[in-house]
Amino acid sequence: MAALLLSALLPLAAAVPCVQFDASFNLYAFGGENDVSLGAASSWSSPSPTTLSTTNRPPWTGNQTQCFLSQSNNAMYVYGGDASDLSSIYIYDFAANSWTVQATSGAPATLGNSRSSAVLDHDTNVIYTIIGAGQSMYQLDLGSVTNTASGTAAWSLVESPSFTTTNYDVTAALAANHIMYFGVPDTAAGSANVFVIHYAYFQPEVQAFPTTGSGSAFPDTVGQAVSLPTSENSTPYQMLFVPEDFSGAYLVSHWTDLGNYSITSDSPMDLSLINSTQAFPTPSSKDTNAAYACSDSACVQVDSTGDIYYITDAVSNYTVSSSATWSKMSYALTLSSSSSATGAASGTDAASGTATATGSGSAKAGSSTTKSSTSASGSSTAAASAAGRLGIRTDILGFTVGVAALVAATLL
C-alpha cells in the first residue's frame, strides 16, 4: 500500500537528465542509466554512444538540474544534480572523462526555482542565480576552479533584482557580459530585464530585442533559456529562448563592446542583429522541464523521458537558417534506478527493497570522499537515504512522499 502510494507520488519529484557540449562541440547526454558521449553533429543521425565514467558521477536526483559548459576549462559543472546535497557541484572533465566533486561554503537552501534560474559566466567562471520569490541574486565564485574540484568555493549574496520575482520562474541566459531575464511579470513582449555582470548591477531599464524579418516578439512568458557558445571561445553573444507555451522559439542576440558601450565598430555580427530576436524552429518535445544545450550552430533538447532532439546547422554567422529542422535521435537515455531518474522506477525499487539500496549505494560509494555514509547495504540506511532524497520537498505533498518512503522502506 505504501509502496503503491510511493510510486504514484514520486513522478512529481522526478529527476531530470541534461545535455551539454564539450569545448570542441561534441555532444554528451547525462542523467540516464549511463552518461554518454554522442559525438559531433555530423554523427547524430546514426549515433554511436560511448558510456562515460561512473566514478563520482552525480546521483542525478535533482529535478531542476543545470549542466553548464565551462568552455575555457573544457569542463561541465553540474548544479543541483544531487537533491540531498545542493552544496556540491559535480565537475566533469571532458578530456579526462572523470568526475570530481567541488565543495562549496555558504550554499543557500535552494539553488533556484527553474532549470534556467542560474547562469555560468563565461569570462569569470562565476555562477549567478536568483533564489525564490522576492529573493536575491547569489553568486558562487568558481574562478579558481578549472576542470577538477579544488578547495572550497564560496557562495555570496550579490543584491536584489530591480524587478519583482514574485511568481517568477527565473528564465535567464548569458550574452556578452549581461544576463537576460525573460518572462519577468509585467514586462513588454520582446523585452528582457538585464543584469550587467561587469558592474554587478541590475539595469533599471528593460532592453528591447526587436524581431528581424518576419515573426513576432517573444512573449512575456517564462520557459527555458541557454546561451550559444562561440567557436572562438569568447563570451556568448546569442541565446535560445523557449517559452513554456511553445508558441515558438527565439534566437536572441546581444553584443556590447566591454570597454565602451557606445562603440559598435568591432561587433562580430551584423549591426542590425545587435539586441535583436530571430524566429527559431520550435522544439519537437513540448516538455516544459526539458533541458537544452547549444553549440555555435546546433541545439539539442533532452526531455524528462530521456528522448533527445537536435537541430543542426541552425545558426550560421549569427543568423538562423530557414531550412533547419528538429529531428529525433534514434538513441534515448534510459532513465533508471541508478539515477533515480524516473519516479516510477524509484517507487518500484523502494518496494522491492533491494534496488533502492543498490542505487543509493552506488551513489554514495561514488562520492565517498565527501560523504560520511558510505554504505547503503542496510535497510535503515536505504530508508534514510530515500527520505533524504525526498526531503527537499517542503510542501504537504512532499511530506507525504517522505513519510511514504519511510513507511515503504520500513516495511521491507
Residues that bind ligand NAG (CB under 6 A): 13, 63-64, 178, 194, 203, 207, 254, 256, 260-264, 270, 274-275, 289, 317, 392-393, 398
The strand ranges marked E within 299-366 are 299-302, 308-311, 315-316, 319-320, 327-328
To ligand NAG, the closest distance from the beta carbon of 212 in angstroms equals 12
To ligand NAG, the closest distance from the beta carbon of 265 in angstroms equals 8
* Of 178 and 364, CB closest to ligand NAG: 178
* Of 151 and 210, CB closest to ligand NAG: 210
Nearest alpha carbon to residue 115 among 204, 196, 37, 223? 223
What letter represents residue 45's amino acid? S
In the chain, the N- to C-terminal Cα span, in Å, equals 12
To ligand NAG, the closest distance from the beta carbon of 77 in angstroms equals 20
To ligand NAG, the closest distance from the beta carbon of 269 in angstroms equals 7
To ligand NAG, the closest distance from the beta carbon of 393 in angstroms equals 3
Helix axes 355-366, 379-390, angle to 10 degrees: 80
Handedness of CA 266, 210, 137, 303 (dihedral sign): negative
The strand ranges marked E within 232-390 are 238-243, 249-253, 276-280, 291-294, 299-302, 308-311, 315-316, 319-320, 327-328
Cell of 263: 562603440
To ligand NAG, the closest distance from the beta carbon of 209 in angstroms equals 8
- Which 8-state DSSP code applies to residue 43? G
To ligand NAG, the closest distance from the beta carbon of 16 in angstroms equals 8
Residue identified by cell 546521483 is: 59
Non-local CB neighbours of 275 within 8 Å, separated by 6+ positions = 207, 208, 209, 210, 253, 254
CA distance 277 to 228: 14
Residue identified by cell 576549462 is: 73
* Of 3 and 274, CB closest to ligand NAG: 274
To ligand NAG, the closest distance from the beta carbon of 97 in angstroms equals 30
* Of 275 and 348, CB closest to ligand NAG: 275
* Of 63 and 321, CB closest to ligand NAG: 63
Element (H, E) at 381: helix 379-390
To ligand NAG, the closest distance from the beta carbon of 267 in angstroms equals 8
* Of 73 and 254, CB closest to ligand NAG: 254
CA distances to 160, 218, 364 from 376, in Å: 42, 48, 7
Beta bridge partners of 171: 116
* Of 186 and 205, CB closest to ligand NAG: 205
* Of 122 and 254, CB closest to ligand NAG: 254
